[in-house]
A and B are shown apart, each in its own frame.
Chain A
Amino acid sequence: MNVRIFMASAVILSGLCLFSGCKPKNMNNAVSADAATKAFVPPGQYDEFYNFVSGGFSGQMAVYGIPSGRLLRVIPVFSVDPEKGYGYAEETKGMLNTSHGIVPWDDLHHPELSQTNGEIDGRWVFGNANNTPRVARIDLTTFRTAEIIELPNSAGNHSSPFATENTEYVVAGTRFSVPADDVNGDIPISTYKENFKGYISFISVGKEDGAMDIAFQLQCPGVNFDLARAGKAKSHGWFFFSCYNTEQANTLLEVNASQRDKDFIMAVNWKKAEEYLAAGKGRKVKTKYAHNKYDENTHTAVSEIREEVTVLDTRELKDICYFIPCPKSPHGCDVDPTGEYIVGSGKLAAVIPVFSFDKLQKAISDQAFDGDFDGIPVVKYEAALYGEVQKPGLGPLHTEFDGLGNAYTSFFVSSEVVKWNIQELKVLDRAPTYYSVGHLCVPGGNTRKPSPKYVIAYNKITKDRYLPTGPELAQSAQLYDISGDKMTLINDFPTIGEPHYAQAAPAELIKNNSVKIFKIDANKHPYVAMGEPAAKVVREGNQVHVYMTSIRSHFAPDNIEGIRVGDEVYFHVTNLEQDWDVPHGFAVKGAQNAELLIMPGETQTLKWIPDRVGIFPMYCTDFCSALHQEMQGYVRVSPAGSNLPIAFSTGGSQPESK
């Protein structure tokens, strides 16, 4: 290949500069002049919204205040977090248990707030683990992960966890189709078309306690499921899933999954599926999946392996699934607040198709089908189509709604947010993002009742937006005021991991329910020390259990002797404080596992195996009080065969005089 003509030179570089223009000195492109007054939350005042932002590859979920963009908390969900001890303390390890054992790092893409009557109710936020498929429920009274359920027959849980309008279910559609868990998977990859199936899990959510269970799975043709939204209002009872790779390629999807002009949105009548389930039409599939629940009384995760799931075969059980053709690898699949319009966003498409729920229903009753795909009827495109937005931008991805008849769609390739009117299919406004936007969030923008004040863009590429920090840069979010006709950029803030998707809820729905302390009287941890007199050290063979307490500004006990090299020492530390925002930490020298962080009223456990003889200091790691630096103690470690008995004390023995 002749590349000589492309050789770089000074002429080229200078030409480039002239050509592209230079970055304006202030770098504040398209920023609203009154941005400061709109986005500024004065010190001591609260933000208007909680923004739950996925951490993407970090596996966690971050909570920001909107409009300030201030980071309020990182909630550990699918990855260990040394800041909170999550996955390190013995009590939380079980939360990360799977049928494969403990998975310390996963990939969280989509937060989903629970809903009642199609509106955010502020009780829970769900999140998906992509890699080892799971769904987590986070309790918004504690901002902690309360429950995680693994998904059998699945791989790459991307189309998840989207909720129905009363949180009857959250769903989980597999990105990778795979052979079912109960059939032989030792088969050539090239037999994809015959042997690979796509599974969609309907996870029921307890009305009162939020407890999750896989009610049933749908076995669907082998494609990639990407995203989903529940029907709402008139379309409640239906669910819509975007599908790509309907080419059923198993290699180089970059080329091979872009061949067809249209892929599908799969419409699922889940009420019909419930009927089949009740009629006993499901197949019991033997499998293994973990269900982990954090018991707030024992402050301990309980992990169990479940062994059966019910699968409904959508090819045999008619009227559950229908495919709607949708241009070019649809990504977003979003239902407007009325439940009538379903917006598909083909990431390689030049139009945004808007489908009509009413037309879809008519098309189904008229059997306006173009044959079938793997046994699932394919509805005629025109029969379900309300209309197309022509030339909206390049690379449409995701749509949120303002409840005023308008939609906001993100465009990755052209790096912009486009506001358009749904009924008129007309573009109303465009705003650039910096750079390469993925998902958008309007608070409540996926529900029946959005708060049409802001749209937040979550960007994949940062480059020069902030002070540089080497090759690894924080990704970013940009906040636009949408209260007027035009979108105006008013704030910009860095995020943790990849801010893949986010939802936001009015602060009023959540803030008054926030737990301040755990009641010590309700602590049912098996190794709790209910007060300093209960502090003790107990040897059981080579295991030593330290029932330890912490209160400003000492541990009990703080002198421990009789520990031997090779012992398994468990420090069960109970924080006796009953005072908001007074956690204690715990660390012991040479601990290869971790430290602890213990909230008021809570008990957490550190396992430590001393590897040598000597004196080992321990201390409080979370600045707790004026005498935090005095909060310390010692452990004496004797040789393996030592006869020194266990001894412990707090304040009993004074320093020897000589």
Chain B
Amino acid sequence: MNSFLFVTALIMMMSCGGEQNPEPKNDSATTSQKGGQEAVVDDESQKDVVKVAVGSPDHTTLVAAIKQAELVASLSNAGPFTVFAPTNAAFDKVDQATLDALMTDEKKMDLQNILEYHVTVSALKAEYFRDGQVLGMVNGDNITVNIVNGKVMLNHTATIIASVPASNGIVHVIDAVLLPPAK
């Protein structure tokens, strides 16, 4: 345990080292340091949906995408959220060039749109889902729930393979990336 604490502390010191000195050259009236609820230091509370995803080795692609889309602060909010979380394997099914393009700043809006299509405001346990149920997602589009052989599917595309409760909602792990309907 001691070594664990030491390692954690060391990494915290390393990662925070650069932020201890305020930028002296900032002339504007406003500083632009980021720091929403995601930055609250709290190891006592249950993990929120972001921390659950961060804690999963199978969701590194998703986590990188959430970070690139600047959705970390929002998803650290009180919610409650239902997050459909595609695994790394799910992202691997997407064309790599498309994926790479989405991770560029130019395509940030598109990435946000896709990720927000994986989140709904409301904590929906798997047992709440009914066949044909329509979920309004954060990006403004809808997802349709299908119950197939006792499994919960979304848009006949992705299947929920695990569900993990979080402090501010629930994470349903899915095996495919959901794409918003073309406009």
Chain A residues within CB distance 8 Å of chain B:
1-3, 5-10, 12-34, 252, 254-255, 258-259, 261, 328, 347-351, 391, 394-395, 412-415, 432, 434-436, 460-461, 463-464, 486, 488-489
* With A6-B56, A348-B121: A18-B29 Cβ-Cβ less than 8 Å: no
Distance from B10 Cβ to chain A, minimum over Cβ atoms (Å): 9
Task: Indicate if the CB atoms of B15 and A21 lie closer than 8 Å.
Answer: yes
Task: Indicate if the CB atoms of B8 and A436 lie closer than 8 Å.
Answer: no
Distance from A56 Cβ to chain B, minimum over Cβ atoms (Å): 15
Task: Indicate if the CB atoms of B164 and A6 lie closer than 8 Å.
Answer: yes
Let me know if B74 is at the binding interface, CB within 8 A. yes
Q: Write the chain A residue with the least CB distance to B32.
A: A30
Let me know if B40 is at the binding interface, CB within 8 A. yes
The CA-CA distance from A267 to B41 in the complex, in Å, is: 46
The CA-CA distance from A486 to B28 in the complex, in Å, is: 11
Query: Chain B residues with Cβ under 8 A from A464's Cβ?
Result: 40-42
Question: B153-183: which have CB < 8 Å to A?
Answer: 161-164
Task: Indicate if the CB atoms of A17 and B19 lie closer than 8 Å.
Answer: no
The CA-CA distance from A15 to B59 in the complex, in Å, is: 13
Task: Indicate if the CB atoms of A413 and B74 lie closer than 8 Å.
Answer: yes
The CA-CA distance from A21 to B163 in the complex, in Å, is: 27
Distance from A388 Cβ to chain B, minimum over Cβ atoms (Å): 10
Task: Indicate if the CB atoms of A10 and B162 lie closer than 8 Å.
Answer: no
Query: Chain B residues with Cβ under 8 A from A432's Cβ?
Result: 36, 73
Query: Chain B residues with Cβ under 8 A from A254's Cβ?
Result: 80, 122-123
Task: Indicate if the CB atoms of A436 and B78 lie closer than 8 Å.
Answer: yes
Which listed residue, B29, B32, B36, B52, touches A33 by the CB 8 Å rule? B29
Distance from B18 Cβ to chain A, minimum over Cβ atoms (Å): 10
Distance from B172 Cβ to chain A, minimum over Cβ atoms (Å): 10
Task: Indicate if the CB atoms of B73 and A17 lie closer than 8 Å.
Answer: no
Q: Write the chain B residue with the least CB distance to A435.
A: B37
Q: From DSSP, what is the main secondary structure of chain A's interface residues?
A: loop
Q: Can you list 28 residue pairs at the A/B interface with Cβ under 8 Å?
A: A1-B162, A1-B163, A7-B55, A12-B54, A17-B16, A18-B11, A18-B15, A21-B19, A22-B12, A22-B41, A23-B39, A23-B41, A24-B22, A25-B20, A29-B33, A34-B29, A254-B80, A254-B123, A255-B128, A328-B136, A349-B140, A412-B77, A415-B73, A415-B77, A435-B36, A436-B37, A463-B42, A464-B40
Q: Write the chain A residue with the least CB distance to B37.
A: A435
Task: Indicate if the CB atoms of A415 and B30 lie closer than 8 Å.
Answer: no
Which listed residue, A14, A22, A34, A486, touches B39 by the CB 8 Å rule? A22
9 nearest interchain CB pairs? Answer: A350-B140, A22-B16, A12-B55, A14-B11, A29-B35, A20-B38, A10-B4, A414-B74, A463-B40
Query: Chain B residues with Cβ under 8 A from A16's Cβ?
Result: 51, 54-55
* With A16-B55, A435-B36, A488-B29: A22-B19 Cβ-Cβ less than 8 Å: yes
The CA-CA distance from A9 to B51 in the complex, in Å, is: 12
Query: Chain A residues with Cβ under 8 A from B142's Cβ?
Result: 261
The CA-CA distance from A241 to B150 in the complex, in Å, is: 42
Chain B residues within CB distance 8 Å of chain A:
4, 7-8, 11-12, 15-16, 19-20, 22, 28-43, 47, 50-52, 54-58, 63, 67, 72-74, 77-80, 109, 116, 121-124, 128, 134, 136, 138-140, 142, 161-164
Task: Indicate if the CB atoms of A5 and B29 lie closer than 8 Å.
Answer: no
The CA-CA distance from A2 to B51 in the complex, in Å, is: 17
Query: Chain A residues with Cβ under 8 A from B43's Cβ?
Result: 13
Distance from B164 Cβ to chain A, minimum over Cβ atoms (Å): 5
Q: Write the chain B residue with the least CB distance to A393.
A: B74
Query: Chain A residues with Cβ under 8 A from B67's Cβ?
Result: 19
Q: Write the chain B residue with the least CB distance to A14.
A: B11
Q: Write the chain A residue with the least CB distance to B67.
A: A19
Task: Indicate if the CB atoms of A394 and B15 lie closer than 8 Å.
Answer: no
Query: Chain B residues with Cβ under 8 A from A2's Cβ?
Result: 161-162
* With A20-B72, A30-B33, A395-B121: A6-B42 Cβ-Cβ less than 8 Å: no
Query: Chain B residues with Cβ under 8 A from A21's Cβ?
Result: 15-16, 19, 34-35, 39
Query: Chain A residues with Cβ under 8 A from B79's Cβ?
Result: 413
The CA-CA distance from A463 to B22 in the complex, in Å, is: 23
Query: Chain B residues with Cβ under 8 A from A328's Cβ?
Result: 136
The CA-CA distance from A356 to B65 in the complex, in Å, is: 39
Query: Chain A residues with Cβ under 8 A from B140's Cβ?
Result: 349-351
Which listed residue, A255, A347, A394, touches B74 by the CB 8 Å rule? A394
Query: Chain A residues with Cβ under 8 A from B51's Cβ?
Result: 16
Query: Chain B residues with Cβ under 8 A from A3's Cβ?
Result: 162, 164
Query: Chain A residues with Cβ under 8 A from B128's Cβ?
Result: 252, 255
Task: Indicate if the CB atoms of A8 and B37 lie closer than 8 Å.
Answer: no
Query: Chain B residues with Cβ under 8 A from A31's Cβ?
Result: 30-31
The CA-CA distance from A389 to B29 in the complex, in Å, is: 28
Task: Indicate if the CB atoms of B77 and A436 lie closer than 8 Å.
Answer: yes
Task: Indicate if the CB atoms of B35 and A23 lie closer than 8 Å.
Answer: yes
The CA-CA distance from A486 to B33 in the complex, in Å, is: 16
